[in-house]
Structure 1
Amino acid sequence: MDKDFTFEEIVKQNEKRIYYHIHKLQIRDPHNEFYVEGLYAMWLAYKNYQPDKGPLATYFNFTIRNRLIDLIRSKTREQKINEAYVQKETIEQLDGNRLTISSVPLRPSEGIEVADTEIWDEIKEILSTNQWKWVNYFIIQGLSQKEIAEKEGVSVDAVKSWSREAKKKLLASDLLTSSEGFSTK
């Protein structure tokens, strides 16, 4: 390599290579992040170039393209992690009977009433102790699954398990299909 050229001169002569690869890889670069990565790749290529391995232009192209592809992969991986985190947080916020954002129950506390308390006794007989706790806390008192877990000193997964089993038993019973005991305002 001819050491008569400074890196600044090399950049002026080869800057279009960066733009070419950004365009060829169909990258939108509003913040010049990929351009800077291309410059860094060019600097690394300039610094590590060995003339006996081939032309400098080919080495620039190879290095710039691969650095840009690596950055795309990194950004994609980061975006997937962020999306998974947002999805997890959304699920946690909507967990249970409340919207955590505003702490307002999803269902109104008025509207569904049990005219006959014998239905609750029948439901209690069908369910296990923990399943009844879920019905009592979640449906009657309007607590979230997280609040139930804290109150009972168990994990949220345990409360979810109570919920699944209680729903299965209630759906299998005839109590929910006959709406004699339930009335709406």
Structure 2
Amino acid sequence: MYEDARFEELHQQFEPMIYHVMRKLGIYKNKHEFYQVGCIALWEASLRFNKEKGEFKSYAYSYMLGRMKSALTENKKKEERESQSEDIWVEDETTYDDFSTILWESLFKNVSSVLSENQCKWVKAYCLYGNTPSEIAEDEGVSVAAVKGWRKEAIGKMREYFNRKDSGET
């Protein structure tokens, strides 16, 4: 209880600093998320602070600044990954043309010759529609473990298939 009250006082005292750091970094999206990052950084700083190494105010400021910069970097990386995956999977009628369909069908026809029926179900559901193992299991009326088994076997067989193709074997 004492720790909670002590941190609440610390939070009230340093709340303006949290907002200052957010403004300094130009944070305009996900403000609530970054406010939470600032609060957690303040709490961590209070736990790690060493009085012999300086003033708490400057330590807390640099700690918050560092944590928020890290969070900004992580958010940017996440947005870039999501953007790239959207570019791959977002299909509208103008961009998903006949060539893509022919390519997919040709590739799948070749690979499906070495896969079981269930493994083919996994490849289609995962690669074409982006379904998770849980979603596939629900659609097929089987356990998630069964779908993961299909996945493991399918990946193994496809690796073998493509390694043979790369080495010139048929």
Contact 1:29 1:35 in 2 (8 A): no
Aligned to 2:60: 60
Alpha-carbon offset, residue 71 of structure 1: 0.2
Partner secondary structure for residue 77 of structure 1:
helix
Alpha-carbon offset, residue 22 of structure 1: 0.2
Aligned to 2:49: 49
RMSD: 2.8
Contact 1:18 1:38 in 2 (8 A): yes
Deviation by residue 1:117-157 (Cα, 9 ceiling, x = unmatched):
xxxxxxxxxxxxxxxxxxxxxxxxxx622112333x169xx
Identical counterparts, % of pairs: 23
Alpha-carbon offset, residue 12 of structure 1: 0.7
Name the structure with the higher helix share.
2
Aligned to 1:149: 107
Question: In structure 1, how many angstroms separate the alpha carbons of the residues matched to 2:20 and 2:29?
Answer: 13
How many residues align? The count is 108
Partner secondary structure for residue 32 of structure 1:
helix
Deviation by residue 1:45-86 (Cα, 9 ceiling, x = unmatched):
011111000000000100000000000000000011111111
Contact 1:95 1:144 in 2 (8 A): no
* Greater Cα radius of gyration, structure 1 or 2: 1
Deviation by residue 1:81-105 (Cα, 9 ceiling, x = unmatched):
1111111213798455078xxxxxx
1:97 and 2:98 are equivalent in the alignment: yes
Partner secondary structure for residue 28 of structure 2:
coil
When residues 20 and 36 of structure 1 are mapped into structure 2, their CA distance, relative to the original with a 3 A threshold, is same
Question: In structure 2, how many angstroms separate the alpha carbons of the residues matched to 1:145 and 1:32?
Answer: 45
TM-score normalized by the length of structure 1: 0.52
Larger RCO: 1 or 2 (CA < 8 Å, sep 6+): 1
1:38 and 2:38 are equivalent in the alignment: yes
When residues 10 and 150 of structure 1 are mapped into structure 2, their CA distance, relative to the original with a 3 A threshold, is closer
What is the one-letter code of the residue matched to 1:97? D
When residues 148 and 63 of structure 1 are mapped into structure 2, their CA distance, relative to the original with a 3 A threshold, is same
1:77 and 2:77 are equivalent in the alignment: yes
Which structure 1 segments of 5+ residues have no match?
Answer: 100-142, 156-185
Superposition map of 1:7-18 within 5 A: 7-18=7-18
Question: In structure 2, how many angstroms separate the alpha carbons of the residues matched to 1:62 and 1:38?
Answer: 11
Question: In structure 2, how many angstroms separate the alpha carbons of the residues matched to 1:36 and 1:42?
Answer: 10
What is the one-letter code of the residue matched to 2:79? Q
Question: In structure 2, how many angstroms separate the alpha carbons of the residues matched to 1:33 and 1:150?
Answer: 43
Question: In structure 2, how many angstroms separate the alpha carbons of the residues matched to 1:7 and 1:29?
Answer: 27
